[in-house]
């Protein structure tokens, strides 16, 4: 069994255990250089936090170990990462993502996030959620202040 299969099987086992405890069928494992950094499961049923996805919780925990940038890390997920989790993966710089169940597999069970992915891929004006941009020049000044405080020396 390859390392990818081994870590993915662990994510699936976490998802299985989570279902047995009343949760959703989602587990995630974060590795770096082949070593497991953290494991997590979907905790929406425990916290009522709709962002408590296994992948996000795993990213948060891994960041506590290695910092906000997760270069060199691989995330193994039992299900296809939703747009929120995928965005977080891009933001933290994970190297790779491996998942077991696709949105197509999840769809008949009400667990697909494909529709959300389609919405966020549209221009803002075409999305179902009304999104209004009210430009404010103070934000440009604030961004400039931040950049001057964080400029490379």
Q: Are strands 73-79 and 96-101 parallel, antiparallel or unpaired?
A: parallel
CA 148, CA 40: separation in Å to the nearest integer? 37
55 has catalytic annotation: yes
The answer for 24, left when phi > 0, alpha when psi is -120 to 50, beta otherwise, is beta
Burial of 99 (0-12, 13-18, 19+ CB in 10 A): middle
Which helix H or strand E contains 39, and what residues bound it?
strand 35-41
In sign, the C-alpha dihedral spanning 108, 110, 115, 117 is negative
Q: How far apart are the first and last CA of the chain?
A: 47
Which among 55, 71, 104, 153 is annotated as catalytic?
55
Gyration radius of the chain's alpha carbons: 18
Q: Which residues are catalytic?
A: 55
């Amino acid at each position: 069994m390859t390392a990818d299969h081994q870590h993915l099987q662990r994510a699936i086992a976490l998802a299985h255990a989570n279902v047995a405890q009343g949760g959703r069928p989602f587990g995630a494992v974060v590795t770096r250089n082949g070593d497991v950094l953290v494991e997590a499961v979907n905790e929406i049923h425990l916290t009522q936090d709709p962002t408590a996805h296994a992948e996000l919780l795993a990213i948060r925990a891994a960041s506590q170990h290695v910092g906000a940038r997760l270069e060199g890390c691989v995330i193994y997920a039992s299900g296809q990462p939703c747009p929120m989790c995928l965005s977080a993966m891009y933001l933290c710089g994970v190297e790779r993502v491996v998942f077991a169940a696709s949105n197509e597999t999840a769809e008949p069970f009400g667990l697909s996030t494909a529709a959300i992915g389609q919405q966020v891929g549209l221009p803002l004006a075409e999305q179902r959620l009304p999104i209004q941009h009210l430009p404010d020049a103070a934000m440009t000044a604030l961004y400039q202040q931040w950049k001057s405080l964080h400029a490379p020396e």
